[in-house]
Structure 1
Amino acid sequence: MTSTAPAQSSKIKKATAQFMFSHPAHILAQGFGSGLSRIMPGTAGTLFAWLIFDLFSQRWPDIFTPSHWFWIISIGFFVGVWACKITGKNIGVADHGSMVWDEIIAFWLVLLLVTPADLKTQFYAFIIFRFFDMVKPPPIRYFDQRFKGGFGVMFDDIVAAFFTLLSFAVWRHF
């Protein structure tokens, strides 16, 4: 007898706190809850990244040095590939909107490379990064469509970070 009901693993689950706390990968992928925002979760995740970067860098400057941030971001990328793969599989969507670890890591990279900078400059970095992440102009769209799974989730945001930094380089040159 053939069942017409979809398999449980293919059913899309709702992004809730209960889902987030059901696996450590979900907590990370959903940005410690920032991705559960009902309004623009990617933007909420990026704001969370900005807050954490500034807070940690100011509160513990001897620990959160630029070289330590580099290692945190590097390791965070690879851990994020794992967390986003698991979370995407468990929630039923490979790149679910509640998964914001990719925005967090990518924006930390932007902040690492534009700071020290005043609040106004950091705000411009935020706006430019969000533009590239949301609009996904070519070639970001190419990478978003080409690479799948946890790596794909993480990589297109790194490309968005690259274009944000390239925009800053061009802006500062002129």
Structure 2
Amino acid sequence: MTISATDNPQPNWKNPIHLLAFGLGSGAAPKAPGTFGTLAAVPLYLLLQSLSSLHYLLVVVALFIAGIWICDKTSRDLGVHDHGGIVWDEWVGLFVTLWMAPQGWYWVLVGFVLFRIFDIFKPWPIGWLDRQVSGGLGIMLDDLLAGLYSLILLQAAVYLLR
């Protein structure tokens, strides 16, 4: 469903589910909410990066599963499938991208850019999944796949540049 600027339902900021879905408010940016939402995930990534790769992966899987419900509930409450301000999926997509990334801002920046490219342009089958799968799973799935594509390219770059 497409919404216009005059028909843009807003979250209930007192609802903790809406607050999470909107990335603690980062998805409410008037321009490029997905990019601002992804940017807001960087400090959380910095907290997670010290985990072992297994523990990090388990946290990301838990966030993905929780995101299916969080995004579905919020989109139903707002009456809009995948409202542009819902950025929990971008958070998880970035966390997938940066799994096992080397320490350092360079790699965070490369991962961020790769993820945004795949999330925005949605090459096959990301765009196809985005159109075919509805509900919270659909909201989460395209960003999971964008994160996986980005992870593969980031790890390839790490391998080639080291």
TM-score by length of 1: 0.80
| C-alpha contact 1:25 1:82 (8 A) present in aligned 2 | no
Aligned length: 154
| C-alpha contact 2:98 2:151 (8 A) present in aligned 1 | no
Is 1:15 the counterpart of 2:10? The answer is yes
> Quick one: distance in 2 between partners of 1:172 and 1:111?
11
| C-alpha contact 2:89 2:140 (8 A) present in aligned 1 | yes
| 1:53 maps to which of 37, 45, 55 | 45
Is 1:25 the counterpart of 2:17? The answer is yes
Unaligned runs of 5+ in 1: 1-11
The structure with the largest alpha-carbon Rg is: 1
Unaligned runs of 5+ in 2: 1-6
1:57 shift after superposition: 4.2
Q: Any idea what the Cα deviations from partners look like across 1:106-144, whole Å, max 9, x if unmatched?
A: 111222232x23211210111110000011111110111
| C-alpha contact 2:97 2:154 (8 A) present in aligned 1 | no
The 1:66/1:170 distance shift into structure 2, 3 A limit, reads closer
Is 1:110 the counterpart of 2:97? The answer is yes
CA RMSD of aligned residues (A): 1.9
Identity among equivalent pairs (%): 33
| C-alpha contact 1:88 1:96 (8 A) present in aligned 2 | yes
Residues 98-137 of structure 1 correspond to what in structure 2 (within 5 A)? 98-114=85-101, 116-137=102-123
TM-score by length of 2: 0.86
> Quick one: distance in 1 between partners of 2:117 and 2:55?
28
The 1:112/1:51 distance shift into structure 2, 3 A limit, reads same
